[in-house]
A and B are shown apart, each in its own frame.
Chain A
Amino acid sequence: DVKVTQSSRYLVKRTGEKVFLECVQDMDHENMFWYRQDPGLGLRLIYFSYDVKMKEKGDIPEGYSVSREKKERFSLILESASTNQTSMYLCASSLLGQEQNQPQHFGDGTRLSIL
């Protein structure tokens, strides 16, 4: 089974801090994604990556950056955390390809609170 592991289930940080959320997958997937989940808004894509050192902006990239130095690891960075970034963050991975039937595999999520 695919395993996507997020480094923390719960995280509390202060306004202005630089925050790192880590995600590791063990199935050699090319694609990795970071989503933010808020009540009533569903999942919104922040960034995704289809290869090492490659990244593309999603729908809400402002205030975030990402790093993918190794294929299995995709990091989300909050450059200067703000209270409106308090949310649930979900990492996912999937196979690269033209076939659209490949589901995304998700980590357990990180509930991030910015005080």
Chain B
Amino acid sequence: AQKITQTQPGMFVQEKEAVTLDCTYDTSDQSYGLFWYKQPSSGEMIFLIYQGSYDEQNATEGRYSLNFQKARKSANLVISASQLGDSAMYFCAMRPGGYQKVTFGTGTKLQVIP
């Protein structure tokens, strides 16, 4: 069974600072994909970034980067230069290779302070 753990229920960050949201996962599969989603207060889930288990480079998408440490089974999201619009829930998720189901973590609520 797959499991995603997000240990930070809530976090604060000052505007323009960088912030790291933690995610650890548990799987016996060798091939898998890791995703981060953002959910603003309006409710829609927005896909942010993807990391494959065989990718040698850490994924980056604009101000988002993924600090992938395979041996430690962690996939932390780093947001650089935080903006007020980054205030939202953030979910880490994993999909094993060859399977359609995705397992989500419990989420981290990020609040950006002016």
Contact = CB atoms under 8 A, between A and B. Distances in A.
Contacts of A31: 100
B91 interface: yes
B28 to A, nearest CB: 15
**Which label, helix, strand, loop or mixed, suits the secondary structure of the B interface?**
loop
A111 B41 CA distance: 12
A101 B100 contact: no
B72 interface: no
A103 B44 contact: no
A43 B91 contact: yes
B106 A101 contact: no
B100 A94 contact: yes
Contacts of A45: 101-102
A103 B107 CA distance: 17
Interface string A79-91: 0000000001010
A104 B101 contact: no
A9 B42 CA distance: 10
Interface residues of A, number: 29
Interface residues of B, number: 28
Interface string A81-113: 000000010101010101011011111110100
B91 A42 contact: yes
B70 to A, nearest CB: 15
Interface in B21-78: 31-33, 35, 37, 42-45, 47, 50, 52
16 contacts: A35-B104, A41-B106, A42-B6, A42-B106, A42-B107, A43-B91, A50-B100, A94-B100, A96-B100, A100-B31, A100-B97, A101-B33, A103-B35, A104-B35, A104-B47, A109-B43
Interface of B: 4, 6, 9, 31-33, 35, 37, 42-45, 47, 50, 52, 91, 95-102, 104-107
Given A9-B43, A100-B33, 11 more contacts: A35-B104, A48-B100, A58-B101, A101-B52, A103-B50, A104-B47, A106-B44, A108-B42, A108-B44, A109-B43, A111-B43
Interface of A: 9, 31, 33, 35, 40-45, 48, 50, 58, 88, 90, 92, 94, 96, 98, 100-101, 103-109, 111
